[in-house]
Amino acid sequence: MSATPDRKPRLGAADIRARKGHEPVVCLTAYTTPVAKLVDRHCDLVLVGDSVGMVLHGLPSTLGVTMEMMILHGQAVARGASQACITVDMPFGSYERGREQAFENAARLMAETGCQAVKLEGGRHMADTVAFLVQRGIPVMGHVGLTPQSVNTLGGYKVQGRGHHEADRVTRDAIALADAGAFAVVLEKLPETLGQRITQEIAVPTIGIGAGVDCDGQVLVVDDMLGLFTDFHPKFVKRYAELGETADAAIAAYAADVRARRFPGPEHSFGAGTPA
pLDDT in tens, 187-215: 999 999 999 999 999 999 999 999 999 99
In a domain, 1, yes or no: no
Query: What is the CATH number for 19?
Result: 3.20.20.60
119 annotated as belonging to a binding site for a ligand:
yes
Residues with Cβ within 8 Å of 51's Cβ and at least 6 positions away in sequence, in order, are 29, 62, 89, 148, 221
What pTM does this model have?
Answer: 0.94
In percent, the amount of the chain with pLDDT more than 70 equals 96
In a domain, 107, yes or no: yes
49 touches 207 (CB < 8 A)? no
223 annotated as belonging to a binding site for a ligand:
no
In a domain, 190, yes or no: yes
In a domain, 124, yes or no: yes
Query: Taking residues 46-65, what's their average pLDDT?
Result: 97
In a domain, 251, yes or no: no
8 annotated as belonging to a binding site for a ligand:
no
pLDDT in tens, 220-234: 999 999 999 877 788
pLDDT of residue 115: 98
pLDDT of residue 232: 74
273 pLDDT more than 70: no
In a domain, 101, yes or no: yes
Overall domain count for the chain: 1
In a domain, 257, yes or no: no
37 pLDDT band (50/70/90 cuts)? very high
Question: What positions carry a catalytic annotation?
Answer: 188
Query: Taking residues 4-31, what's their average pLDDT?
Result: 90
Pick from 15-19, 147-151, 166-170: least confident: 147-151
What domain range includes position 238?
A: 13-242
6 pLDDT band (50/70/90 cuts)? low
50 annotated as belonging to a binding site for a ligand:
yes
In a domain, 262, yes or no: no
